[in-house]
Amino acid sequence: MTSQTTRTSVLSAGVAALVLSAVTWIQLVPGGRAIAQSGRKNVPETANAMELSNVFRHVSKQAMPAVVSIATTGKIIHETIDRRNPFGDEELFRRFFGDSPQFREYLDQGPMERRRRLPGGNGSGFIISADGVIMTNSHVVRDAEEVVVRLSDGREFTATDIRTDDDSDVAIVRITVDEQLPFLQLGDDAVMEIGDWVLAFGSPFGLHRTVTQGIISAKSRGLQRSQLTQEFLQTDAAINPGNSGGPLVNLQGQVIGINTAISTASGGYDGVGFAIPVTAARWVADQLVESGSVQRAYLGIRMQQIDATLAEHLNLAVPQGILVTDVIADSPAEKGGFQVGDVLISVNGKTITNYRYLIGLVERLQAGQTYTVRVLRNEEEVKLSIAVAVKPDDLAALPLRTNAPVESDETARFNELGLTTQNVTSELAEQLRTTAAGVVITSVRSDSGAEKAGLEPGMLISRVGNINITNVEDLERAAQAMADSEKVLMLVRIASGDGSMISRFVAVPINTGQ
């Protein structure tokens, strides 16, 4: 949630709609909380297009009492300000204020402490339990000193408990009430199909009790410029700033998603909104209610989505599955036998279509339990038994399974690849801030296959075809083995801004006759 509209390609806004339907039975969840799981009651059937508005009217009337508006006041934080460089440009600061003795004395006093209140904002949410438990987005209530919930009837309550999970952007807010509140039924997003009608509820631009209609435009969608790795429902129901945390509802009056973001060039509704699938949100919410935090499982691999080019080189009929680029040392994946270059095709009997689906599937597995994983290795199917573990907080910092660098600084030129390379010695590995063995690219010939594939000096080559590369002799052997090929699949490692190495497979054309 933001206090002002910002024009970005992905703008947090929220698109979920919830529906209240008469409760026919109740499912108890950890902590004794009851969540509505009722079937629909007296929902009109749609015989033709003229009757569709009757369904919209009925669902809206049932859902509205459980949809809330949320307003927050930001926390006060303490900051240390450099008097000499408060704006990031000391020279500009001096030109603006001059260079008087009083000003120099002010600068010599050293760092300055100040208090600053973070901006508040507005969003939406929906009641999921009659005793005052509300589901919303984490970004709506994150860093809030006070959260005020406005009910459909206009009454306002200050939240007594706020629990957030930034990895999923799901939050639980609790208010204390003396009566039983209307609450919404949580449905099943898996049964929704592209083209199904949905209603989005919330408070766009602070407009309380707003409903818009649209369809499910896509499923399993990812937000490319977001740190959220999960899959989203895409809808064309109008979503705007302030809708964040509201419910997305189907025509049976069931919540199937939480409004979370929009893709926009204008800062407002452009017809593309995103909602967190309710299945994932419910899994997070149950843990937040029970323990206040979310425990996730992990495998311990780094991966790359298989595109059409990679599928061709891997002899896959369609670009589906995940290519393993790294195996984390001492992880469930290493203990279970994963290898770099494996194509992961299924986990626990579920076919893997993309890496977002894989992350969502694995994190909801039971830590400590063993699951069957199928991979393709050198085009042969291999079954692995993996005992998944609890995901560490510092997963990105864990070491990879690597070979030690060599001590020879031997170099070699590979005309067929358009590269000049050098062994990664211990000294060079320290400069590159890596523990990985391999060869480093020292030059790339202009207009070569390597240049066309995007290879650059400073990249490490760790694998060519099925051959692991630890020195230039390995690369020479791999190049000879690929002499009759038009392209070679190469695993390269690239230094990122934080000093870590990012691994990816690239298809490099072989320059014959050069």
The residue that leads in pLDDT, 270 or 45, is 270
Picking from 227, 260, 290, the residue at the C-terminal end of a domain is: 290
434-458 pLDDT, tens digit per residue, is: 666 678 899 999 988 889 899 999 8
372-390 pLDDT, tens digit per residue, is: 999 999 899 999 999 999 9
Say whether both 111 and 142 belong to one domain.
Answer: no
Count of domains for the chain: 4
Of 11-15, 54-58, 126-130, 215-219, least confident by mean pLDDT is 11-15
339-363 pLDDT, tens digit per residue, is: 999 999 999 999 999 999 999 999 9
Q: Is the pLDDT score of 20 beyond 50?
A: no
4 within some domain: no
Say whether both 285 and 318 belong to one domain.
Answer: no
Q: State the residue range of the domain holding 334.
A: 297-397
Say whether both 224 and 309 belong to one domain.
Answer: no
pLDDT score for 2: 42
Q: Is the pLDDT score of 460 beyond 70?
A: yes
Say whether both 234 and 265 belong to one domain.
Answer: yes
Average pLDDT, the chain: 83
Q: Is the pLDDT score of 511 beyond 90?
A: no
404 within some domain: no
- Whether 198 and 17 have beta carbons less than 8 Å apart is answered as yes
Say whether both 271 and 234 belong to one domain.
Answer: yes
Q: How far apart are CA 137 and CA 259, in angstroms?
A: 8
pTM for the whole structure: 0.79
Query: What's 435's DSSP letter?
Result: -
Which residues, including other chains, have CB under 8 Å from residue 406's CB and lie 6 or more apart? 423, 424, 425, 437, 470, 471
pLDDT score for 42: 60
Burial 455-465 (b: 16+ CB within 10 A, else e): beeebbbbbbb
165-175 pLDDT, tens digit per residue, is: 999 999 999 99
Say whether both 164 and 211 belong to one domain.
Answer: yes
The residue that leads in pLDDT, 230 or 266, is 230
pLDDT score for 18: 30
- CB 332: neighbour CB atoms within 10 A? 23
Tell me the percentage of the chain whose pLDDT exceeds 70.
Answer: 79
Say whether both 37 and 167 belong to one domain.
Answer: yes
Q: Is the pLDDT score of 36 beyond 90?
A: no
355 within some domain: yes
14 within some domain: yes
394-431 pLDDT, tens digit per residue, is: 777 776 666 655 666 677 777 778 889 988 877 776 66
234-254 pLDDT, tens digit per residue, is: 999 999 999 999 999 999 999
| DSSP state letters, 398-414 | SPB--PPPBS---EEEE
The residue that leads in pLDDT, 294 or 38, is 294
Say whether both 358 and 496 belong to one domain.
Answer: no
Say whether both 374 and 491 belong to one domain.
Answer: no
364 within some domain: yes
61-74 pLDDT, tens digit per residue, is: 999 999 999 999 98
Say whether both 44 and 169 belong to one domain.
Answer: yes
Q: Give catalytic residue positions.
A: 139, 169, 244
Of 15-19, 177-181, 313-317, 334-338, least confident by mean pLDDT is 15-19
185 within some domain: yes
Q: How far apart are CA 264 and CA 204, in angstroms?
A: 15
Q: How far apart are CA 109 and CA 134, in angstroms?
A: 49
Q: CA-based angle 487:489:491, to the nearest 5?
A: 145
Q: How far apart are CA 243 and CA 137, in angstroms?
A: 10
505 within some domain: yes
